[in-house]
Structure 1
Amino acid sequence: MVSPRSLLTIATTTVVALTTVAPAPAAASPRTYRVVDLGTLSGGDGAATAMNDHGDIVGWSTVASGARHAVLWRHGVITDLGVLPGDTDSEAVDVNEFGDVAITSFGADYLTRAVLWRNGHLVDLGTLGGENSVAIGVNDRGQVLGTSDPAAEMSHRVLWRNGSVTDLGLQYFYEYTADVNNAGDVVGGWNVPPRDSPCTCVGGLLHRGVLTQIGSEAIGINNRGQVVGAANGRAFRWQNGTLTDLGTLGGGWSRATAINDRGDVVGESTTTAQWRPFLWRDGVLIDLTTRGVLETDVIEDINVRGRLVGARVNRPVLFR
C-alpha cells in the first residue's frame, strides 16, 4: 500500500488559458437519434450508466422482488450480473473495452462493497480495513477506481488491480471521485487547504500523484487526457492547460458530464427556461432536444461511435 502523503502533492502553479467557442451553425448538427429501450429483467425500472466502444452497455434493472441488480446488455441480450453472497442489491457503474464491469454491491445496514465482474465471476475487491467500499470506474488495464474505508477513518480514493490496492489518499468532506482513464489518471473534486467551511473545493486531475486544479468540477476524462466538467457555472473541456468554454443553450449555466476518445462531450445546459441535454462536437454546441432526446432524458455516457446511453422515465435506453 502506498502512503497517501507520498502520492498526493498539489501542483503549486497551474497555467490555464480560457477560450470561448461560439456555437456553429445548426447545419453541422448530427442526424436525429433513434431511441432504443434496452429492456429490463422483470419489466420494471432500470437505467443504463456506461457503455464501451464495442457497444457493451451496463447499468441496473429491478428483479421480481423489486431489488436492483447490476446488468450487462450485449448484442440485444440482458445478463443479470448478480450480487455478492448475502447482499440484496447491486449497480454496475462502468465497463471497459474487455467487458470487465465495475459494480457496487449493497448489503444489510447500508454496507457496500466494490466488485469487479469478469468472465462471469464476481470478485469482491475488499476494503482498506473498514466496512465499506464503492466502485466508480474501470479502465482497460483492469484498474478499478473507487473509495474504501480504512478502520475508523473516512473513505480514501483507491485503485484496485489484480488483488492489490493503491491508496490515493483521504477523501475529505465535500470531496468526490468521478472517473479514471487508461493511464490511471483520476478526476474528481478536492477540498484544498486550508479545507475550511465553506468548502475550498476545486475540480482536479490527479496524475502520478500530482494534483492539477481544473475548474470547480471535474467530472469526466478520456484516454487523451481531456477533462470535462464545469467552471464558474459553465461547461468546459480542458487539455494541456487550456480550458475551453463550451457555452450554453441560451441560459446562464451549463455542465459537461462525459467525454469520448474523439473529444465529443455530453452534458446539460439551461435555456432561458429549463435544463436540456447537449452534445458538443467539433466546436458545435447542439441542443439534443432538437435531435430526438427529451428534456427529461438522463444522458450518462457517450462512446466513440457517438452513441449515448441513459434513462427515459425510469427505463434504460440507447440513443443511436
Structure 2
Amino acid sequence: MADDTRTPAQADQQRNDEARKGKPKVVASDDLKSLAQAQRPRGALGRIKAEGENPRADRPGALPMPHRRSVSAYTPAPAIERWNADAAGVRAVEYGDNVITMFGPIGEDFWTGEGVTAKRVTAQLRAIGQRPAEVHINSFGGDMFEGIAIFNVLREHPQDVTIKVLGMAASAASIITMAGNRVEIGAASFIMIHNCSVMGGGNRHDFAELAAFLAPFDQAMADVYAERTGIDAKTIAKMMDDETYMSGSAAIEKGFADALLSAEKTKVDEAAKAADHQVNELRAMELQLVASGMSRSDARARIKKIKGTPGAALDTDATPGAGADDWLSDAAGLLSTIRS
C-alpha cells in the first residue's frame, strides 16, 4: 500500500464525507441550530463542560498588554464618588481559604500602600493550587492595564473561577469580572463599563498618538464583553461610550452575570466603609488636581502637605486630637473649591 500523504485533518475530513454519503439531509437542521443558540443562557460562555475538560475553554481569550507601560489608565472621580455612595464597606459574610478578595483600587495604591495587583493575585492563586477559586470584588476600578493583567492571570487558572460582585465592579474591575466561569452579583450591586480613561499632557500630536495607542484596548475590551454576553461589539462599544452602569438584574439580563447573589451572603462593614470614605477623599482630590493641570507628583505633594504627615499612606487609625479632623476639613474645602 502506498504511503498516505494526507494530513490527519484531511484524512478526518475525508472519512466524515464518506460517512455522510447516502444519508438524507435534515432540512430543519440549520433552524434547530439557530434555535439552540438562541436558547443558550445569557452570560454562559461556551457549552456545558464534560468532566475533565479544561475550565479555561469557557473563558474569553487573553487581552493584549500595552507596550507603553508609562501610560496608566485611571477610573474617573465620578465613579469613585458613586462607589462611595452605593458600595463602600460591602463585604461577604463568609470566606473560604480559596477566596481572593479585591476590595478597593485595582493597581498599586499610593495612598494606602495596598491595592489589587497581578503579582498579588498570582501569589494567591499559587497558594490555592489545583482547586476552584472564588473572587470577591467590590472595586471602583483603577489602573485599566493592571486590570487586564489580572484578567489574564485569572483566565489561566486550571480550575473553575467563580466571581462574586459584592458591591460594584466598575472600570478595570469589570474587566476582571469577565475572567470568571461563573459570575454572581448582588441585586443592589453594579457593573460599570466605559472606555479606557487616562490623564496626560502635551500638544495635539501627543494626544493623537495617545488616542491611537488606546483604541486597540477599547476594542479588545469590547470584544471580551461581547464574547461573554452575546451582544454585538458595536452595541457594546456604544455602552462603553455612555459609561453604562448595570444593576444586578440588568447585568444578568444583558449577560454580564449569571445569577443573583443572596443578600444574606453580604454585609456592610461600617469600619471599612468609614476608612474607604476617608481615603477616597484623597483619591478624588488627587484626580481633581491633576485635571486642573498639576502633575500627579505635585498633586500628591500638595495633598500630603495639607494632610500634615511625613508619609504617603493614610493613617486610618488616627485618634481624636491627632489632626485627622483638621486636615480632612481643609481637604474637603480645597476639593470643593477645585470642583467649583
**Structure 1 and Structure 2 fold alike (TM over 0.5):** no
Q: TM-score, normalised by structure 2?
A: 0.24
Q: Which of the two has greater helix per residue? A: 2
Q: TM-score, normalised by structure 1?
A: 0.25
Q: Which of the two has greater strand per residue? A: 1
